[in-house]
């Protein structure tokens, strides 16, 4: 059985179309499906402004809608294209929005927006496997959606530190509980890399005080060391693209649209 894993697409169909898709039995995506250039640029602008003691830039109604629709439209295009070739399993990265989050945004901004989860479920052959265990023809696959690990908060020290640390503790506890159910996995699909593995921040657009720091997850690292899934597929830290082994586990950070086809099956 041929399983194709693809790193964060970020809406780049031109790169996706260069990947050999014919003859694969399953496609796995590591999250961040859509193009998020507008939102990313604004986020890092505000990080820099905060360091300089300046107020954050105000997001207009128009800007918020443009950010959302850029991500939404490019994500749907990617999924519709890939689903022509094989079943597609996806997890959420830090770009995707759950429908309850979208409804909150609608109420806050007075907008009407398309719901991502609802509309993904209408695409034949596409399945969201956030925090779920799936058996695909005998191959055990665990999907872990993006979460904020306590290790990231302590490493990068964002504003509202106490508030963010409290939220990260809840996220981390939840992620650890989910991973405790993933026994004897063949493949773990997660968004961020394990801590200290293919996760160093070196992107030019990242703030200077982020440079050289590990942005991966200690919870994911602990899980891999203990359970030793055969493959771990991730993305998130694009400049960390590469391959490493942790014990018997093969860890791949595919960056943006990197990919690998693995031949795997059960006797």
Which residues have a Cβ under 8 Å from the Cβ of 263 and sit 6 or more positions away?
A: 1, 2
Q: Locate 232 and state its tokens.
A: 């771990």
Give the pLDDT score at 266. 53
Q: How far apart are CA 173 and CA 213, in angstroms?
A: 23
Question: Comparing 36 with 127, which gets the higher pLDDT?
Answer: 127
Give the pLDDT score at 241. 98
DSSP letter at 200 equals: B
Domains along the chain? 2-263 (3.60.21.10)
Dihedral sign computed on CA atoms, order 221, 247, 252, 264: negative
- On the question of pLDDT at 61 being above 90, the answer is no
Give the pLDDT score at 208. 86
Residue where the block lists tokens 């860890």 = 251
Highest mean pLDDT among 11-20, 62-71, 157-166: 11-20
Q: How far apart are CA 37 and CA 43, in angstroms?
A: 10
Q: Mean per-residue pLDDT for 125-130?
A: 98
Q: How far apart are CA 45 and CA 57, in angstroms?
A: 8
Give the pLDDT score at 267. 45
Tell me: the pLDDT tens digits for 133-156? 999 999 999 999 999 999 999 999
| 235 touches 30 (CB < 8 A) | yes
Tell me: the pLDDT tens digits for 171-211? 999 999 999 999 999 999 999 999 999 999 999 888 888 99
């Amino acid at each position: 059985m041929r399983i194709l894993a693809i790193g964060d697409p970020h809406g780049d169909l031109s790169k996706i179309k260069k990947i050999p898709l014919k003859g694969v039995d399953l496609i796995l995506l590591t999250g961040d499906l859509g193009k998020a250039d507008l939102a990313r640029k604004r986020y890092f602008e505000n990080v820099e402004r905060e360091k300089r003691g300046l107020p954050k830039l105000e997001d207009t109604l128009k800007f918020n809608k443009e950010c959302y629709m850029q991500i939404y439209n490019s994500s749907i295009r990617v999924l519709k294209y890939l689903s022509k070739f094989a079943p597609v399993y996806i997890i959420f990265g830090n770009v995707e929005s759950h429908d309850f989050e979208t409804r909150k945004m609608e109420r806050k901004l007075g907008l009407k927006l398309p719901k991502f989860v609802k509309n993904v479920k209408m695409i034949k052959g596409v399945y969201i496997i956030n925090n779920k265990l799936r058996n695909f023809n005998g191959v055990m696959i665990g999907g872990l959606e993006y979460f904020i690990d306590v290790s990231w908060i302590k490493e990068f020290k964002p504003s509202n530190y106490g508030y963010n640390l409290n939220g990260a503790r809840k996220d981390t506890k939840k992620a650890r509980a989910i991973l405790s159910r993933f026994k004897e996995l063949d493949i773990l699909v997660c968004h961020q890399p394990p801590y200290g593995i293919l996760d160093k921040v070196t992107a030019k657009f990242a703030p200077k005080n982020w440079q050289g720091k590990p942005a991966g997850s200690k919870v994911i690292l602990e899980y891999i060391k203990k359970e030793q899934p055969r493959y771990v597929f991730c993305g998130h830290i694009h400049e960390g693209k590469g391959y490493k082994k942790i014990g018997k586990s093969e860890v791949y950070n595919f960056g943006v649209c990197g990919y690998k086809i693995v031949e795997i099956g059960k006797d």
